[in-house]
Each structure stands twice: as structure tokens, then as C-alpha cells.
Structure 1
Amino acid sequence: MPRTNEYGQTIGDAVPGWTIRAEPQKVTLIGRTCRLEPLEAKHTNDLYASYSQSNDGRDFTYLAIEAFKNIEELRNYVEKTVKEPGRFSFAIIHASGKAVGMISLLRADRVNGSVEVGRVVFSPLLKQSIASTEAQYLLMAYVFDGLGYRRYEWKCDTFHAQSRRAAERLGFTFEGIFRKVIVVKGRNRDSAWFSIIDSDWPKIKEAFQKWLAPENFDAEGRQIKRLQNIQKNIENIVFT
């Protein structure tokens, strides 16, 4: 039943014992197929070699940055990134030991327990891999289980169909389109907003763990059950 105050007005649920949450830290998050470690200049060579696997710049169309033309551009970007206030960036390290992508936590609102995942720059060596999904899971687990945040946001260009599909696959809920949010690369960007909240997390976490389990992959590393199918099965078990 909805809560009401002494005036009969409907009000939000109580949040008993809520306290300001800690700021994200430079931590290393270890999984089965990858690990996330704080981004540093030492990752530049591996990252440049990984991004150089692309034949063109299409992976950067919807990002605020352009494809790196040379290693110096990437080195400057990494050096600037690690110094940027309020941004907590990680290098994604593949089982090979090489850095194959970057991901960041942004706009941490400690008072209200909200943070955004963004600046996701995956190389061809990472895309559509087990590690790419596990990297997302590791960061979510850090935010919800490690820091106790209430809300985890994903925002992307409304025309970025691949990013929108990824958000939905990972369990994010679509919240709507925010119009004329920014001007990027000389053009307008309307942003699609998605979120996972703390009450969503237990089911999403369970689905990730089942999907990531070694027995969910065959000898060639191909998934047996899709993540979204596992999520739907968990929801049916919970609500029927």
C-alpha cells in the first residue's frame, strides 16, 4: 500500500538508516575471465594495440572522443583521464594479461547513492566476449555490494542502437529520452537513460553469476544459455 503523511498525501517509501555513501576508489576487481584495475599510463601500449584492431572509427561515432590516430593521442587521453576530478577509470585486463578496454564510474552522488557507468571504450578484442560481460558485472557488484549505492545509471546517444541493446541485455531498465542534452562533435545529442536500482540487483546478480559459470559455456567458449533468458527465468521463479 502507498504511504501517506498526516495530510493524506502519498509519499515515497522510507529509507531507514540511510547514510552518505563512500566515494569510489582505485580498486582492482578480479573475475574469472578478466580483471579491472585503475587506469594508468602503463596501460597505453596495450590499449593502443587493442584499439588498432579496428579497421575504421565506427566504434567512436557516438562517443565524445574520436578514434586515436596514434599512440601519443591515446597517451594524452589516458593522462588527462586519470587526473579528471570525479571520474574513476579502469583498464579492462583480458586473461592474456593485456589491457583491451576502458570503463569509468562518473558523477558519483554520495548523498543519494547514485553513480553512472560511462566512457566505455571496448576494443575489438573485448567486444562480444565473456570478459566484456564480466567486466560490466564486476563494476556493478562493486557499486551495489561494495559501496552500497541505490542507483546505477547508463546513458547513451539515442541513435546508438548497439549501446541500447547492451544496456537492456545487462538488465538495465529504460527510463526515457532526455532531449538536447549536449552538443557533441558539432551535433545534437538526445540521450537514452537506463538504470539498475538496488532492489533490482539481487535478481540481476543471480542471472550474471549463472551466466558466467563455466558450465554455461561449451568447449569452444560458446554460451549455452543467453543472459536475458536466465534473467526471465529468475523473474518467473520469483513472481509465479
Structure 2
Amino acid sequence: MKIFLNDLGQPVGECLGDWQGAILPDRRRLTGKFCSVEPLCVDTHSESLFAALSEDTSGRTWTYMRYGPFSSFGAFVQWMEGYCFSADPFFYAFVEKNTGRALGMATYCSISPSHGSIEVGHVNFAPSMQRTAMATEAMYLMARHAFRALHYRRYEWRLDNLNAASHEAAKRLGFLYEGVFRNASNYKGRNRDTAWYSITHSEWDDLETAFELWLDHLDPVSGKQQKSLGEFIKTAAQ
């Protein structure tokens, strides 16, 4: 790591140059090859999103969430109306391009424009969206928007340290592990040790290149990959 010294010979952080802060998320729709990322709307998304998330009859996808699962469509809509329309967290729906169905959701949260830090959170994919090109592309579109359009310097992924699937997802998407905050919070009557991952703006150029190459090499119809995203990330970093 490069060391910067002030006039007193003390190590200090790198100068931010002309960076003037980030901006708050807006209601722009982000469009990709397989999906669009749309600000959550009860009228537009609630029915298909509830149906898709209800494909998980075991409730497994809700274990590490602070809410859910929901026993009825009415309860789901009531939760949406009471929880999902603040400035932070800012909820999005992931809409499948071919069908127009909302198959998942996520948010920008812990939003700090003055420091240039923002988190992707509340990530929940229906079983039919998990392990698909759509799932990866949705995460890419949100990250790219945070860095390129909103000018954030740090993109965070936080998770319950016991959530093995979320650990693997963060690593696969290029986030770097930073450690664990013990007893950081609680939910559903349980303790949560929170693991932290991040991507910084200086790392995003290589990651963006890797994502774009990975998307370009997917089968345009089935979305099947020829090479893993991890292979493209390694190549871009060389």
C-alpha cells in the first residue's frame, strides 16, 4: 500500500482530489441483457414478487433476513408498504426481461454520500432466480450504478457471519473480506455477528471489465456461462 506523508512527515490518507461526494440513489431503472433493476412498486411488483419468493416453501431464503417469511399476499403487501419506501433502505425489484416477472429484490442501504459509502443489502432471490445469469447481472448493475452514476467510493456487503451462502456470493462477486463485528446486532431474537466485505472505487475498473467480459461470453438465450466469473476476475486483475 502506498504511503502518503504530510508536511510533518506523518502518514495520512490519499488526497481525494476533485471528488465532491456521492449522490443519493434515484429512481432510475437499470437495464441489462437478462433483467432490469427497478425501484420497488407495490402495484407493479408485489404479485409476481410474492409468488416467486413463495416458491421457497421451506422459508430457507428468509432465515437470515430481519423479516419474513410472509404467510399471505396481504401480509407481504402490508410489510412492503410499511418498510420498503424510505430513502434508506432504498428497495429495488429484479425483473426478468423475458417474462416481466419480479423474481428478487435488494436495496441500497447504510447510505453515506458525504463519505462515499453505500451498502447492498436485503438481497433475496426466488429459487428460480438463484444461480442464474440474471442474479449475477442484477448485482453487477447495482454495483456499476453505485460507482459510475452515483460516485460512491466504497460498496459494502454485510451479512450474518453464519450465512455460508452469502459469504460465497460476496466472494464470487469480487468483494474482499474485511472481518467480523461480534455481537453487532440482533434479529428474530437471535444474536448476529456481522461479517463485512467491500469493493472500493480503485478496484472497480478491473471488476467492471471482468463482469462485462463474462456477460459477453454467456449464451444469449440460455445464459449459460463458458467460463466462470472468477476466471475473468483473475484475468482482469493481472
Work out whether the TM-score is over 0.5.
yes
CA deviations 1:205-237 (Å, max 9, x no partner) are 011001111x3338753211000011111222x
CA 1:104–1:220: 2 relative to 1, 3 Å: closer
Amino acid in structure 2 at the alignment position of 1:171:
G
Question: Aligned-pair distance for 1:53?
Answer: 1.1
2:111 paired with 1:103: no
Question: Once structures 1 and 2 are overlaid, which stretch shifts more, 129-138 or 10-19?
Answer: 10-19
Amino acid in structure 2 at the alignment position of 1:2:
I
CA 1:11–1:123: 2 relative to 1, 3 Å: same
Q: Identical aligned pairs, as a percentage?
A: 35
Structure 1's consecutive aligned runs of 4 or more residues displaced over 6 angstroms after TM superposition are: none
2-structure distance, mates of 1:126, 1:219? 15
Structure 2 residue runs without a partner (length 5+)? none
CA deviations 1:166-215 (Å, max 9, x no partner) are 000000000000110111111110011000000000000011001111x3
Question: Aligned residue for 2:84?
Answer: 82
8 Å CA contact retained: 2:50, 2:76:
yes
2-structure distance, mates of 1:179, 1:58? 24
Question: Aligned residue for 2:62?
Answer: 60
With normalisation by structure 2, the TM-score equals 0.95
2-structure distance, mates of 1:102, 1:46? 12
2:139 paired with 1:136: yes
Question: Aligned residue for 2:121?
Answer: 118
2:28 paired with 1:27: yes
8 Å CA contact retained: 1:29, 1:138:
yes
2:17 paired with 1:16: yes
Total equivalences in the alignment:
235
- Superposed, 1:88-237 pairs within 5 Å as 88-95=90-97, 96-213=99-216, 215-217=217-219, 220-236=222-238
Amino acid in structure 2 at the alignment position of 1:91:
A
CA deviations 1:32-89 (Å, max 9, x no partner) are 1000111011211101110121121111111111211110111012112333242211
With normalisation by structure 1, the TM-score equals 0.94
8 Å CA contact retained: 2:107, 2:123:
yes
Structure 1 residue runs without a partner (length 5+)? none
Amino acid in structure 1 at the alignment position of 2:117:
S
CA 1:86–1:210: 2 relative to 1, 3 Å: same
CA 1:145–1:220: 2 relative to 1, 3 Å: closer
Question: Once structures 1 and 2 are overlaid, which stretch shifts more, 155-164 or 20-29?
Answer: 20-29
Amino acid in structure 2 at the alignment position of 1:206:
T
Question: Aligned residue for 1:47?
Answer: 49
2-structure distance, mates of 1:219, 1:64? 36
